[in-house]
Structure 1
Amino acid sequence: MEQQNTAKPQFDPNGDVKVPAFVLPVSGLVSDEAAAFQRMRATMPAFDAAGQASDVAERREQINTFMAPQIERLRAMFAVNIDRTTIGGVEALDVTPADRSHDPDRVLINLHGGAFILGWDGIAQLESIPLAVLAGYRIVSVNYRMAPEHRHPAGVEDTAKVYAELLKDYAPGRIGIYGGSAGGALTAQAAAWLPAHGLPQAGAVGIFGAGGVPFYAGESAYTAGYIDGSFPPPPADGSEPEDITCGHFDGIDERNDPSAWPGYHLDTLATFPPTLIITGTRALDLSSAIYTNSQLLKAGVRSTLIVGESMGHCYHYQVAIPEGRDAVDQIVAFFRENLN
Structure 2
Amino acid sequence: MNGISNSKPVFQADGSVIVPEFVLPVSPLLSEQAATFQRMRATVPAFDAAGEGLDATTRREQINTFMAPQIERLRAMFAVNIEKAELGGVEVLDLTPADGSHDPDRVLINLHGGAFTVGWDGVALVESIPMAALAGYRIVSVNYRMAPEHRHPAGVEDVAAVYAALLEHYAPGRIGIYGGSAGGALTAQAAAWLPAHGLPQAGAVGIFGAGGVPFHAGESAWTAGYIDGSFPAPPADGSPLEDITRGYFDSIDEKNDPSAWPGYHLDTLATFPPTLIITGTRAMDLSPAIYTNSQLLKAGVRSTLIVGESMGHCYHYQVTMPEGRDAVDQIIAFFRENLT
Tell me if TM exceeds 0.5: yes
User: Could you tell me how far apart the structure 2 residues matched to 1:308 and 1:206 are?
Assistant: 15
Instruction: Indicate the SS of the match to 2:289.
Output: helix
Could you say which residue in structure 1 is the equivalent of 2:131? 131
Could you say which residue in structure 2 is the equivalent of 1:55? 55
Instruction: Indicate the SS of the match to 1:336.
Output: helix
User: Could you tell me how far apart the structure 1 residues matched to 2:234 and 2:119 are?
Assistant: 23
Q: Is structure 2 residue 200 aligned with structure 1 residue 220?
A: no
Contact 2:4 2:21 survives alignment (8 Å): no
Could you say which residue in structure 1 is the equivalent of 2:194? 194
Contact 1:49 1:63 survives alignment (8 Å): no
**Unaligned 5+ runs, structure 2:** none
Deviations 1:89-109 (A, max 9, x none): 000000000001000000000
Could you say which residue in structure 2 is the equivalent of 1:87? 87
Could you say which residue in structure 1 is the equivalent of 2:267? 267
Contact 1:97 1:136 survives alignment (8 Å): yes
TM-score (norm 2): 0.99
Contact 1:176 1:202 survives alignment (8 Å): yes
Could you say which residue in structure 2 is the equivalent of 1:243? 243
Could you say which residue in structure 2 is the equivalent of 1:72? 72
Could you say which residue in structure 2 is the equivalent of 1:205? 205
Runs of 4+ in structure 1 displaced over 3 angstroms?
A: 1-5
Could you say which residue in structure 2 is the equivalent of 1:312? 312
User: Could you tell me how far apart the structure 2 residues matched to 1:142 and 1:309 are?
Assistant: 30
User: Could you tell me how far apart the structure 1 residues matched to 2:296 and 2:17 are?
Assistant: 29
CA RMSD of aligned residues (A): 0.8
Instruction: Indicate the SS of the match to 1:104.
Output: coil
Q: How far off its partner does 1:51 sit?
A: 2.9
User: Could you tell me how far apart the structure 1 residues matched to 2:134 and 2:15 are?
Assistant: 46
- Mapping 1:132-211, distance limit 5 Å: 132-211=132-211
Could you say which residue in structure 2 is the equivalent of 1:281? 281
User: Could you tell me how far apart the structure 2 residues matched to 1:322 and 1:80 are?
Assistant: 22
Contact 2:49 2:230 survives alignment (8 Å): no
User: Could you tell me how far apart the structure 2 residues matched to 1:54 and 1:297 are?
Assistant: 41
Q: How far off its partner does 1:54 sit?
A: 1.8
User: Could you tell me how far apart the structure 2 residues matched to 1:292 and 1:54 are?
Assistant: 33
Could you say which residue in structure 2 is the equivalent of 1:291? 291
- Mapping 1:113-128, distance limit 5 Å: 113-128=113-128
Q: How far off its partner does 1:316 sit?
A: 0.2
Instruction: Indicate the SS of the match to 2:49.
Output: coil
For residue 317 of structure 2, what is the amino acid of its counterpart? Y
Instruction: Indicate the SS of the match to 1:15.
Output: coil
Deviations 1:119-155 (A, max 9, x none): 0000000000000011000000000000000000000
User: Could you tell me how far apart the structure 2 residues matched to 1:95 and 1:60 are?
Assistant: 22
Q: How far off its partner does 1:46 sit?
A: 1.5
Q: How far off its partner does 1:5 sit?
A: 3.6
User: Could you tell me how far apart the structure 1 residues matched to 2:118 and 2:296 are?
Assistant: 29
For residue 224 of structure 2, what is the amino acid of its counterpart? A
Deviations 1:65-90 (A, max 9, x none): 00000000000000000000000100
User: Could you tell me how far apart the structure 2 residues matched to 1:177 and 1:258 are?
Assistant: 18
Contact 1:53 1:59 survives alignment (8 Å): no
User: Could you tell me how far apart the structure 2 residues matched to 1:148 and 1:48 are?
Assistant: 18
For residue 209 of structure 2, what is the amino acid of its counterpart? G
User: Could you tell me how far apart the structure 2 residues matched to 1:199 and 1:4 are?
Assistant: 55
